[in-house]
Amino acid sequence: MSDYAIEHGHAGAREDPTDAHPGPVVYLVVAAILTVLTAAEITVFYVSALQPVLVPILLVLAVVKFAFVGMFYMHLYYDSKVFTIFFAAPLLLATLIALGLLLLFSHLAGVLSFTIP
């Protein structure tokens, strides 16, 4: 940020541009959490008692890992909320479209049966 922007009250200006971003310790903690989640994914895969619910558990773990990567390594947690909305809104829309297509085609294939009132 230039000195002119800081002196004249530019909308995005801060006194210390490094104060909003984390240090190496935060990145190491997030990396450790991601490592534990990856180990949990591997463990869940090899536990035979969890085979009936394997896919939902792995999907939840993947979403949590994705959120950590998006928040910390893409700096969405520390940047403006506008960037988070620009990132999350299309992702939510794509998820809803994929879910809708999944339900539609599973119904057409006879896998899922439901009636619409």
pLDDT greater than 90 at residue 9: no
* Token code pair at residue 21: 């971003």
Q: Which residue has the higher pLDDT, 60 or 7?
A: 60
pLDDT score for 110? 75
60 lies in the same domain as 88? no
27 lies in the same domain as 75? yes
Domain that holds residue 102: 80-117
pLDDT score for 3? 64
pLDDT greater than 60 at residue 40: yes
The model's pTM: 0.63
- Closest Cα to residue 80, out of 69, 90, 88, 91? 88
Task: Kindly report, residue by residue over 47-94, the tens digit of the pLDDT.
Answer: 999 988 998 899 889 989 988 888 888 888 888 888 888 888 998 899
43 lies in the same domain as 53? yes
Phi, psi of 62 (to 5 degrees): -65, -40
Q: Which residue has the higher pLDDT, 94 or 7?
A: 94
* Average predicted confidence (pLDDT) for the chain: 81
Asked if 48 contacts 35 with a C-beta cutoff of 8 angstroms, the reply is no
- Residue type, position 1, single letter: M
Phi, psi of 103 (to 5 degrees): -65, -40
Domain total of the chain: 2
Whether 72 maps to a domain, the answer reads: yes
pLDDT greater than 80 at residue 18: no
What percentage of the chain reaches a pLDDT higher than 70? 78
pLDDT score for 31? 92
